[in-house]
Chain A
Amino acid sequence: MLSRSDPKLSANIVRTAGGARVDLVMVADMVVRGAKVLDVGCGDGELLRLLSERRDVDGRGIELSREGVNECVAKGLAVVQGDADTDLGDYPDDAFDYVILSQTLQATRQPRVVLEHMLRIGRHAIVSFPNFGHWSVRLQLMFAGHMPRTEILPYSWYDTPNIHHCTIKDFVQLCTAIGVKMEKSVALNAWGSPLRLNAPWWFWNLFGQQAVFLLSRKS
């Protein structure tokens, strides 16, 4: 599973003037104040800290890498070592207000099962992922003829932890298939700016480098 403490990734990620990662700020903005949040694949705890500072949340994390967990616990965050693919089943229904999967979906073995668990454990789910439908990805495969490497997908095909790439369109289709409600969605371009809200899906799919979705169960 991709860990957000990954130096390869964080070196290329866009940050705000305050130093916070733009995509994480987008995620944090979707969470209501004081909520109970589970961050799946929480890396070194950057999002949990942001959520606690900006949103005063009661945050928990799951992280696969030992280094990430130790770093989080040493910061005073409540984080357990575990794997999104196997450990979400241990959490009871409705245990959290939000379950967040940030930049980790593409590294899970069973994205659909993970997403279903997230919406069982939490009333809301927030998912952010790099969009494999971005024009630069498409062009690399079409013209260079090799597996695409971008700022937020910095790995070679043989050593990538990302095994289930998807496009914004694919993800929307998955959400439809498992019957979840999309409450909010934001696509960010390569400079970390949100795309026009009223842009059509095909535009997002082509020009969004990453996307953030706020989902909830269809009641």
Chain B
Amino acid sequence: MDEVTSSLPEAPDSVREADAPRDSALAHFGNDQPLKLDAGVSLSPFQIAYRTYGALNAERSNAVLICHALTGDQHVVGTHPVTKKSGWWETLVGPGKPVDTDRYFVICSNVVGGCMGTSGPASINPATGKPWGLEFPVITIRDMVRAQAMLLDHLGIDTLFAVVGGSMGGMQVLQWAESYPERVFAALPIACATRHSAQNIAFHEVGRQAIMADPEWRGGRYHLEGTNPRRGLAVARMGAHITYLSDAALHRKFGRKFQDRENPTFSFDADFQVESYLRHQGISFVERFDANSYLYLTRAMDYFDLAADHNGVLANAFRGAPTRFCVISFTSDWLFPTSESRAIVHALNASSARVSFAEIVSDKGHDAFLLDEPEMFGIVRGFLDGASKARGLKSTKAV
């Protein structure tokens, strides 16, 4: 692994982004506005970093909240300040795109526990003036959503036209519909589930153990001690990345092809292209992400179980929900297989909610939701168009 991490910069940009994010708006919540957490404590004061695209109409009825996935952030569209790459959902969001920023006012915030400007373990604990580290309280998906709701109050938006997200973002979408049904007109959970499966928790645990096994992790106090558990985080990312793809996608992309050589070296160098690719994924991730944030966010996903909050009856989570739902899954997603999406649909049917569901044929695995999937684009566009007619969205003129 030395080879993997030796080329890394000493001070990752994510450390700077955690408190003073570039290219993002910031909402500060003082001691008079604490964030009440499921863990039984309050976070106060705290801040949320977010970006917006498009314009809010005069009726304030065209706001679309985009919820990012585990390792995503608020930079949905536009250049990412750390990686300098384009936004993570540039395929879906933008002028004329299915989530059309010419029509909708798109908001995306960094989740609580993240490391791109919203309060998380990498940011400074106002009480001590030092990075939170593991002193940061454990957060849940519901806490993330609660914080987003506070951001909307701050922005003066009562009702969201739509909440859209994939994977962990999809969990937030479902949580929104459960926690604030009257504030969500349309919900689009993609490639997700109402609970994190045992297999998924197991994968997450492997990632967390990789981070904690890194001697540079220092019990989570690496910011204070001037180290960084880059190797552990890179390994965690490599392992997780495999679960985001599919065997078919890996095979098509790499097969058993060698990297820059004709024959095997009979060593543990990255002989295979797939090895180089994973190492690259690990390295580039470490540049932009905080290891402790990874622990907190994976934990939040593990704890997610909507049915458990309703005595095991998932349908009760959505009972009487006025929200229109569109659930989307992908055939080759083995992290959140279609059966999980069907469970959501069954529950929504049982609670008499207005629900659409489509399974998209793709061999690209879980990551398909981030890629160029015309069928998904058609469904998202159609669903939002239909919902905007029902909502009577007319003006997109700025306030």
Contacts and interface: CB of A to CB of B under 8 A. Distances in A.
Q: Determine the interface band of chain B, counting residues with CB < 8 A from chain A.
A: 20 to 34
A187 interface: no
A17 to B, nearest CB: 27
A182 B251 CA distance: 58
B397 to A, nearest CB: 24
Contacts of A81: 357-359
A66 B378 CA distance: 13
The 7 closest A-B pairs by CB, nearest first: A76-B386, A74-B382, A80-B357, A90-B346, A73-B356, A78-B354, A74-B378
13 contacts: A69-B358, A73-B383, A74-B378, A76-B382, A78-B354, A79-B357, A80-B356, A81-B357, A81-B358, A90-B350, A91-B350, A92-B352, A95-B349
A79 B327 CA distance: 10
Contacts of B315: 92
Given A66-B358, A90-B350, A91-B350, A80 B379 contact: no
Q: Looking at A76, A77, A81, A95, which has the most chain B CB atoms within 10 Å of its CB?
A: A76
Contact of A78 (B350, B356, B360): B356
Contacts of B360: 66
B361 interface: yes
Interface of B is mostly: helix
B306 to A, nearest CB: 17
A72 to B, nearest CB: 8
Given A76-B389, A78-B355, A80-B355, A66 B350 contact: no
Interface of A: 58, 60, 66, 69-70, 72-82, 90-92, 95
B372 interface: no
Interface in B347-397: 349-350, 352, 354-361, 375, 378-379, 381-383, 385-387, 389-390
B382 A73 contact: yes
A155 to B, nearest CB: 25
B201 to A, nearest CB: 26
A84 to B, nearest CB: 13
Given A74-B379, A74-B381, A74-B382, A69 B350 contact: no
Nearest to B342: A82
